[in-house]
Structure 1
Amino acid sequence: MKHLRKILAAMCLSAVVSGFAADYVPSPEIKKAQAQFEDARFGIFLHWGLYSMFAQGEWYLNYGVNAEEYAKSARAFYPADFDAAAWVSAIKAAGAKYICITSRHHDGFSMWGTKQSPYNIVDATPFGRDVLKELADECHRQGVRLHFYYSHIDWTREDYPQGRTGHDTGRDSTKVNWPGYYDFMNAQLTELLTNYGEIGAIWFDGWWDHDEDTVPFDWQLDEQYAMIHRLQPSCLIGNNHHQSPYPGEDIQIFERDLPGENTAGLSGQEVSRLPLETCQTMNGMWGYKIKDQDYKSVKELVHYLVKAAGMGANLLLNIGPQPNGELPAAALDRLKGIGEWMNRYGETFYGTKAGDFPAQEWGTTTRKGDRLFVHILNAKSNEIELPLTCKVKKAFTYDGKKPVKTVKTPGGVKLVLDEVPDGIDHIVELQTSGR
């Protein structure tokens, strides 16, 4: 029965989407922003809020914790070591072109001085500083674009219509008031898009909280999206709803998977023609979890970046800042390693398009005009088969520009290397004609 409800909900969503599809035409400002977004290829996600104090991840309040008791922790939230300049500098040095930070997660705590609720970092904590304002100012100063994550869910407000999460936080379900909650969200979004300078994107999350409703829930997204585009005509909209893009959305998001893959069970939707972004954790959690020190290696992270670019997608790589306001040492170490790779090979990554063919066992490709970059990530042999249809005029190693032998094959072209590559990413550049 649950499966049937999901199918019916998806069918209803499809009907709603088709009804609005003809109404949304991206503006010239949005099209320009989409192109800039695709060129960026790499952003850093920051999941930070009250939940960092409990060091159990960003869903801590959902695990049978009373919301009133949880809220008392705000009186002890004092991230004395928060330094926006240090954060942005480390992220920029890693080669990331934008930052997406949780302005308000499912626990309902706002990380800016919102006028819509006293439950925020300025009014409810002894810290009393607007970290989003400090981060926004520093991003603008250093030329890093800023995106805001915003949750459609709130596990603390009684006016939010409860979905399939946050049932045990102590809310009175008889006080649901969707019109009031919807107005509250739009007032908060208006603040974020009015008081913090140019914002690159609003990154929504939580639509899935009502994906099992017998009667599909109407989030009134079309009105909300129109408001955002009206307030900032170049602000992109993405929604982590795990569905096909809704009209008014400017990027398509995939969670914990590359586009077209679904190993985590969250990204089974079809790949659209919108700019693509996949979000992934640096360790295992989004929010800070003290026991989770299983960070992916620099090699693993570079491979994920390159594979995403090979599919024409950006990677939004997550870090969960600590409660004292610092980025974890392990995360800073990984950022440094990624930055060293970017300094040498960024040309093969930034501003590229998807490669000419799907990823292979040995790696993937990225394209920039008539230049095709062959990223050899996991070679088992010194002979690399490329299922190419274009003509290869010249082939050489990216490092050192040493000629590489090519052999025409029935299935495309074979590269014959001097030896089996064993580095993080051995890159061969091809000068081509056609595609």
Structure 2
Amino acid sequence: MPSQPVVSFAGRSRMSPKTAMLVVPLLLAGLSMLGPFSIDTPFPAFKRMGADLDVSTDQMQLVVSAYLLSFGLMSPFHGPLSDAIGRRPVILGGCAVFAVASIGCAFSTSLPMLLTFRVLQGLSAGGGVIVSRTVIRDVFDGPQAQRLMSRVMMIFGAAPAIAPIVGGFLLQAGPWPVIFWFLAVVGLLLVALVAVFLPETHPKERRTPLAVGSLLASLGEVSRDLRFHRVAWAAALSFAGQFIYIGSAPIFVVDLLGKGELDFWVFFLPMISGVMLGAWVSGRAAGRVSGRRLVTWSLLFASGAALLNVGLALLPTAAELPYAVVGPGLIAVGTAAAYPTLQLVLLDMFPRSRGASVSMFTFFALLLNGITAAVVTPWVTHSVLTLALGSTVLVLGGMLCWVWHLRTGPRPVPAKAPEPIKPTESL
């Protein structure tokens, strides 16, 4: 018997439940795509941006790390704020500020000015990217939640493949600022869609007090829980093994593989195909395979793919296609199959503070990715082999954290769903 909604959508909406189950996941995926689009769309323009701003390729990596680090530093606060005032206000405000920051990037005339607005983009983007993840778990429980989370991830997974292609085509239409004008339009479009289609899923009866002490207390409760750290780092490290390729895509595609600004698809297509395949596996496994088993086998697959990637990097054909992109694509299959379940495990650890849980997880993951882009990437992008080795260390680290959780943590018990609350107006 399929699981039923934990609570109906609260707020005003004229959509039928069937329509909502189609529209809302698409909208949540769109909000999640804001992050990859912010990172990947400017990639094809890095050379032009560097020439116009008179900075080196290594300095241009700061455009990625400034966004990621600021996103990570702000991420602990978006979720608890949504626990206190509701999901919609935080999402709407974040998308609106993101649009303004994107306009600032388009007008930037120096690297410090550009980085300032990239920081503002990072501080605001989490309003949509982070909080949107809690909406599905607000409404659904059990296998249905996993299926919908996987569906969102499948749609979201297309973003890193589409974004650099879009960036490349935008460059054919104008100078590099046109990319940030495009991001501004995306932000404003999301504001309009959320305002029209997304009801409030966190009613007043379940909200936490809007006080600094309460917000910090919820974050403290999450961050002190060793169970949370074991699962969060399993997810963050394994994904970082995939992200190290995404964060170094300009170097990997252009310098190591010798391709041009319109050729990013040769890397992102197999990578994101892997993400979508892994998310599909996760959705199909919902209700058929236990979460523990699914995560274990998925991370074992990712670890095996990482080791295969090192083997391929040792061959004379290491920098040739398709050999250079097979490993990253297979790693993506494993991490994407595990990721929806890992997120649900984290959300169910703190059913009254889901926003705080997803915020702290995002904080650790994005901080790790920011450090990876700023510190690790310059050390591992000398060759295809060193990049493969760096990815393998991260994936295996994630696997070890999950094994640690299995050996020392209590056997997970599905969280008891809170009593349904009568909505002010259901769909």
TM-score interval, smaller chain: under 0.3
**TM-score of the two chains, using structure 2 as the length reference:** 0.25
Pick the structure with more helix per residue. Answer: 2
Bigger CA radius of gyration: 1
Highest relative contact order (Cα 8 Å, sep 6+), 1 or 2? 2
Pick the structure with more strand per residue. Answer: 1
